[in-house]
């Protein structure tokens, strides 16, 4: 038996802390990637209980889920700039705030809105370095063109997304400066910029001066950011011991016989493996030089000191021995009491979870 457990209390702790830090600036909760792995709707409901009524999505389906399940009046921002007519029509049906990242998309949106005799709300995206969606800051003619010429679009916000907010402070400051100048230029041309926003979780936590009129938070809500904070990491896998074995001295376990018992060793077999998202490294996939170094160091330490991944059996930290299997691990339970059915906690990032039910508790 296994499940992925989301502790409501940890989630609430994080939301409360983030709200305090936001100090009145609205939090736009990002629900992409199935709510960072813990479910769009349960996460949105939990956030709503804390008073959050601004959400960001990247899929039409996520917006549908919200609108069909009681989130009729909440603000929903689509983070992708899409010119796909089918997507745009559906997003307009759902009264989603669109993102405009290019002149072509602005034209597509305006044409569809005009056909529908509608005026649709949208935020302009500025590309200050991410190089995916967004107007280049130099492209002022088109940026202003949206305000001046696209009569079926009501621009209610301007934003950017930093590429390095977890890393280089200098680059992020430069990007912020570029963004600020672009916003000023729009204002100087006589237009209201309304909701100006640029912070994701890392920027929010590291640069309070950049909070502007809204902050887009995802990973911080789950307490999974690549530096120390008072946030609590949300989520862990829970499984139960299936069998208990004693591997005699000299007997290996797992593929490749990577580990061999040095003495008769009691081992618990637990039905969770890499398929479920259990990896030796549960990092956020960030590749700063510093992170690469720490990864290499951890690797070396693993080689020299046999640093094996840890799980918790009956509240005791225990080492996983042998290779992590697709759906199984073997856990060294020397020195602790353990029997079939006992509870095992396995640290897994919810983004990697597969093949397990999500349970909010
Ligand atoms: C994913 C995303 C966010 C949230 O990022 P976190 O670091 O998880 O807070 C914010 N803005 C945009 C545009 C995103 O794509």
Q: 24-57: per-residue pLDDT in tens?
A: 999 999 999 999 999 999 999 999 999 999 999 9
Rg (CA), the chain: 24
Q: What pLDDT score does 288 carry?
A: 61
Are the C-beta atoms of 321 and 288 separated by less than 8 Å?
no
- The residue whose C-alpha atom lies closest to atom 3 belonging to ligand 1 is 200
Question: DSSP string of 238-293?
Answer: EEE--EEEEEPTT-EESGGG-EE-SS-EEEEEES--GGGT--S--------HHHHH
Give pLDDT tens digits for 77-134.
Answer: 999 999 999 999 999 999 999 999 999 999 999 999 999 999 999 999 999 999 999 9
DSSP 32: H
Residues comprising the chain, all counted:
361
Q: Which atom of ligand 1 is nearest to the CA of 28?
A: 10
pTM: 0.92
Q: Candidates 30, 158, 204, 211: which one to mutate for ligand 1, based on the most atoms within 8 Å of Cβ?
A: 30
Percent of the chain with pLDDT over 70: 95
Q: Candidates 14, 35, 56, 157: which one to mutate for ligand 1, based on the most atoms within 8 Å of Cβ?
A: 56
Q: Which atom of ligand 1 is nearest to the CA of 204?
A: 9
Average pLDDT of 142-163?
98
Ligand 1 centroid, distance to 131 Cα (angstroms): 15
- The residue whose C-alpha atom lies closest to atom 15 belonging to ligand 1 is 79
Q: Which of 280-289, 304-313, 323-332 has the highest mean pLDDT?
A: 323-332
Burial of 17 (0-12, 13-18, 19+ CB in 10 A): middle
Q: What pLDDT score does 305 carry?
A: 61
Decide if pLDDT at 283 tops 80: no
Report which secondary-structure segment, H or E, holds 173: helix 169-188
Q: What pLDDT score does 170 carry?
A: 95
Give pLDDT tens digits for 228-256.
Answer: 899 999 999 999 999 999 999 999 999 99
- The residue whose C-alpha atom lies closest to atom 12 belonging to ligand 1 is 161
Q: What pLDDT score does 211 carry?
A: 98
Least confident of 257-266, 296-305, 324-333: 296-305
Count of beta carbons in the 10 Å neighbourhood of residue 302: 14
Cα dist from 244 to 152, 257, 264, whole Å: 67, 19, 13
Q: Candidates 27, 76, 161, 227: which one to mutate for ligand 1, based on the most atoms within 8 Å of Cβ?
A: 161
Ligand 1 centroid, distance to 203 Cα (angstroms): 10
Ligand 1 centroid, distance to 199 Cα (angstroms): 8
Q: What pLDDT score does 280 carry?
A: 60
Give pLDDT tens digits for 309-344.
Answer: 899 999 999 999 999 999 999 999 999 999 999 999
Ligand 1 centroid, distance to 64 Cα (angstroms): 20
Cα dist from 190 to 57, 122, 143, 203, 330, whole Å: 30, 18, 13, 29, 66
Instruction: Say how far apart CA 265 and CA 279 lie, in whole Å.
Output: 23
Decide if pLDDT at 169 tops 50: yes
Q: Which atom of ligand 1 is nearest to the CA of 36?
A: 8
DSSP 23: T
Ligand 1 is surrounded, with C-beta below 6 A, by 30, 32, 79, 161, 200-202, 216-220
Task: Supply 321's token pair.
Answer: 């021995």
Strand partners, 28: 54, 216
Decide if pLDDT at 298 tops 80: no
Count of beta carbons in the 10 Å neighbourhood of residue 325: 18
Q: Which atom of ligand 1 is nearest to the CA of 161?
A: 13
Ligand 1 centroid, distance to 293 Cα (angstroms): 25
Task: Supply 27's token pair.
Answer: 């939090």
Decide if pLDDT at 281 tops 90: no
Decide if pLDDT at 300 tops 90: no
Decide if pLDDT at 271 tops 60: yes
Q: What's the start-to-end Cα distance of the chain, in Å?
A: 17
Q: Which atom of ligand 1 is nearest to the CA of 201?
A: 9
Give pLDDT tens digits for 177-193.
Answer: 999 999 999 999 999 99
Instruction: Say how far apart CA 98 and CA 204 lie, in whole Å.
Output: 23
Q: Which of 50, 103, 47, 105 is nearest to 76 (CA)?
A: 47
């Amino acid at each position: 038996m296994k499940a992925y457990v989301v502790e409501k209390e940890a989630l609430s702790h994080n939301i409360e802390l983030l709200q305090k830090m936001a100090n009145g600036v609205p939090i736009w909760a990002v629900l992409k990637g199935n709510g960072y792995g813990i479910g769009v709707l349960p996460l949105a409901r939990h956030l709503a209980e804390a008073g959050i009524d601004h959400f960001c999505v990247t899929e039409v389906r996520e917006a549908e889920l919200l609108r069909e399940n009681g989130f009729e009046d909440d603000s929903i921002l689509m983070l992708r700039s899409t010119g796909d007519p089918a997507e745009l029509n559906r997003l307009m049906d759902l009264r989603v705030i669109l993102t405009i990242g290019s002149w072509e998309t602005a034209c597509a949106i305006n044409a569809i809105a005009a056909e529908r005799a509608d005026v649709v709300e949208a935020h302009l995206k500025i590309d200050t370095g991410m190089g995916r969606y967004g107007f280049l800051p130099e492209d002022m003619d088109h940026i202003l063109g949206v305000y001046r010429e696209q009569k079926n679009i009501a621009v209610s916000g301007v934003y950017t997304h930093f590429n390095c907010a977890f890393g280089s402070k200098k680059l992020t400051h430069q990007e912020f400066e570029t963004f600020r100048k672009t916003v000023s230029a729009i204002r100087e041309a006589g237009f209201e910029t309304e909701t100006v926003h640029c912070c994701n979780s890392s920027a929010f936590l590291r640069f309070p001066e950049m909070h502007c009129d809204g902050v887009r938070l995802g990973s911080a809500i789950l307490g999974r950011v690549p530096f120390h904070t008072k946030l609590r990491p949300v989520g862990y896998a829970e499984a139960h011991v299936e069998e208990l074995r004693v591997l005699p001295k000299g007997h290996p376990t797992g593929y490749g016989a990577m580990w061999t018992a040095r003495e008769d060793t009691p081992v618990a077999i637990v039905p969770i493996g890499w398929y479920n998202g259990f990896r030796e490294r549960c990092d956020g996939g960030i590749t700063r030089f510093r992170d690469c170094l720490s990864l290499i160091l951890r690797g070396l330490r693993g080689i020299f000191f046999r640093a094996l991944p840890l799980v918790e059996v009956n509240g005791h930290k225990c080492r996983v021995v042998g290779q992590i299997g697709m759906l199984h691990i073997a856990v060294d339970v020397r020195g602790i009491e353990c029997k079939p059915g006992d509870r095992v906690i396995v640290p897994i990032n919810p983004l990697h979870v597969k093949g397990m039910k999500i349970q909010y508790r």
